[in-house]
Each structure stands twice: as structure tokens, then as C-alpha cells.
Amino acid sequence: MSNEKIKELIQNFLEGKLSEEKEEFLLSWVKESETNKNLFLSEQENIQNDLLSSTDRRLEMRWRSLLKKIQNTEKHQRGKIKLRRTASVAAAFIFGVLFTFWATETRDVTSVLVTQNISTPLGAKTNFELPDGSVVWLNSGSKLSYPSEFGEIRSVKLTGEAFFDVKKDKKHFVISTEYGNVEVQGTSFNVKAFKNEVFETTLVSGIVSITEKNTKKRVTLHPGQQADILESKISVKNVDTELYTSWKEGKLIFREEYLPSAVKRLERWYNVTIELDDDPRLSKIWYSGTLEMESFSEVLELLKVTAPISYYYNEKTRTIRIFYD
């Protein structure tokens, strides 16, 4: 057995990459003699020293979530529960590290305009500033495109869900979606426009107007109101806006939400696939509650405890199947 080969095995073992067979092989080599065992331990030390000075990006997510937990508990111990809120806002910023960013060049007749595309993978969120100083929080599995410089109209394109805090300006701010346009001057509001789901705009402050794509029907919203579009029909109702905007602070709130729609939000939030069994009773189950930094297995437990359901998790496909008990 060459030294190089053994070193490679030890390195892979320390990185958790060795197959069980190779682990067994390494173990039998280590147990062959006291010399081998000492060689193993000193080589392990060398490799560990190298690993300590390198940075492993793969574990970044897990480390962030651990850091959040210890920061949260320490704040608890000091009895300052209010600070949790700040921590969760900070968490939303931390998640921002994960967004993907690219720029595509589109040649204009007169000038070179660059379109920025920002998208978030499932399970991650991000926030950023637009060229005019407006701030956008982009929820997981969403995409926003905007020009590097705004023209006469501040125009952006959204697929998915985002919260906008639009800077006041004479130029109109227009968000175009698959379902229609949302137009404002300066306000804060949430737009949800995922494919194959109900379109929703929730207004926190200011005034927005929404134009449906096919019928061109236009409605104006006042703070605390929500408009939704279903099969080209717009309807407006009064809502508790926190329910629809709290995701940007790292909180997921359910209020009497039926399982099928709760499941869709959980899928994006945790980047998993959830299938509901073919039992009509499942769609009659509803949930109320706030999730804050809970791990996915904790969430599944919560669901289970509060309703007569059970689930099966398929590790290989990362799919969860929910059954009615």
C-alpha cells in the first residue's frame, strides 16, 4: 500500500466521502500495526490543519442556520425576545448571499441597455436595491428583470413573489406580470405572480393600480387591501397585510390556510417536493400558525400533531407524500 494512496483515503474519510467498503479497508490497515495507527493520526492532523485554513462553501447554509440558532437562544437568555425580529430580518439578508445574479446584454438602436436578471433558487430569499433606490425583497423560486437604468417609466418584470418598497418619484413604477400590470408612484406592497397560482397584490401603504392583461380592467387599491386575479377576473378585499408580507422577515404565517395551498408555500420555502395523497379529506384540512426558523422536520411534525395525517419521506427523490390517517 503506497503512502500516497493511504493519504488519499484519509483525506476522503475526513471529508465524509469514503464508501463503507473503503472505510473498512482503511480500518483494517490502521489496525494492522501501531505504526500504521500513528501514521493515520499524524496524517489526519496534517489534513485537518489544511482543512482549518480552507473555506468550505458547501457547508455555508448549514453554518448560517446554526449561527442564527445560537444567536436566537442567546438573545432569549438575555430576555430580549423583541430582538428575534431583528435577527429574522438579518436572516433574510444572510439568505441574500445565495442569490444568483447575471446580466444579459441587449443591443438597442441608440444605446447599450443592460437587463439585470435576479432570481432566487427554491429555499432561498434575497433583497436588493434597484437603480432608483427602491428596495425589493425577492421570495424563493422567483425572478425579477429590470434595466440597468430606468427610462421614462420605471419598468420591471416579475415572475413569482416580491415585496416592493418603491421610492417616491414622478416617474411611474410598473411591474409587469403574466397576469397584468401593477402601477404605482411610491408605496410598499407585495406582488405574488407564480405560474398556475392565484395572482395577488397586497398593499401596505400608498396607492397602487392594477390592470388585468386580457380584459384591461383596472382597479385601485388602498392600504390594507388585496387584489387577486382568477381567470382574468379581479376582486378586491380587505386583509391583514402582515400575513402576506412577513415572508421577507423570514416568517411564514398561515391563517386558516387549506393544506394544498400551505403545501405549495412550504415546497418553495424549503425546496422540497410534497405530494398529497388522493384523498378529498386532505384538502379540507386547514392550518393556522407562524413558522420562524423551524427546520423542515420540525414543520412536518407540527403538521402531523395538529391534523390526522402522516407522511412518508423518500430520501432519494427528496419527495414527501402526505396521507390522511
Residues numbered 263 to 322 that lie near other proteins (CB under 8 A) are 295-298, 300-301, 304-305, 310-313, 315
Is position 51 an interface residue for other proteins (rule: CB under 8 A)? yes
Is position 34 an interface residue for other proteins (rule: CB under 8 A)? no
Closest separation between CB of residue 41 and other proteins, Å? 8
Is position 63 an interface residue for other proteins (rule: CB under 8 A)? yes
**Member of 24, 32, 149, 240 binding other proteins (CB under 8 A):** 24
Is position 27 an interface residue for other proteins (rule: CB under 8 A)? yes
**Member of 2, 3, 4, 16 binding other proteins (CB under 8 A):** 16
Closest separation between CB of residue 297 and other proteins, Å? 4
The cell 430606468 sits on which residue?
Answer: 150
Residues numbered 68 to 97 that lie near other proteins (CB under 8 A) are 69-70, 73
- HEC per residue, 115-163: EEEEECCCCCCEEEECCCCCEEEECCCCEEEEECCCCCCEEEEEEEEEE
Number of Cβ within 10 Å of residue 175's Cβ equals: 26
Among 41-49, 113-121, 124-132, 152-160, the segment contacting other proteins (CB under 8 A): 41-49
**Member of 23, 105, 149, 279 binding other proteins (CB under 8 A):** 23
Burial classification of residue 99, based on how many CB atoms lie within 10 Å of its CB (0-12 exposed, 13-18 middle, 19 or more buried): middle
The answer to whether residues 18 and 7 touch, using CB atoms and an 8 Å cutoff, is no
Is position 52 an interface residue for other proteins (rule: CB under 8 A)? yes
The cell 475526513 sits on which residue?
Answer: 14
For 3, the enclosing helix (H) or strand (E) is helix 3-14
Total binding residues for other proteins by CB under 8 A? Answer: 45
Largest CA distance in the chain: 83
CA dist 61 and 96 (Å) reads: 11
DSSP state of 168: P
Contact set with other proteins (CB under 8 A): 13-17, 20, 23-24, 26-27, 30-31, 37, 40-41, 44-45, 48-49, 51-52, 55-56, 59, 62-63, 65-67, 69-70, 73, 295-298, 300-301, 304-305, 310-313, 315
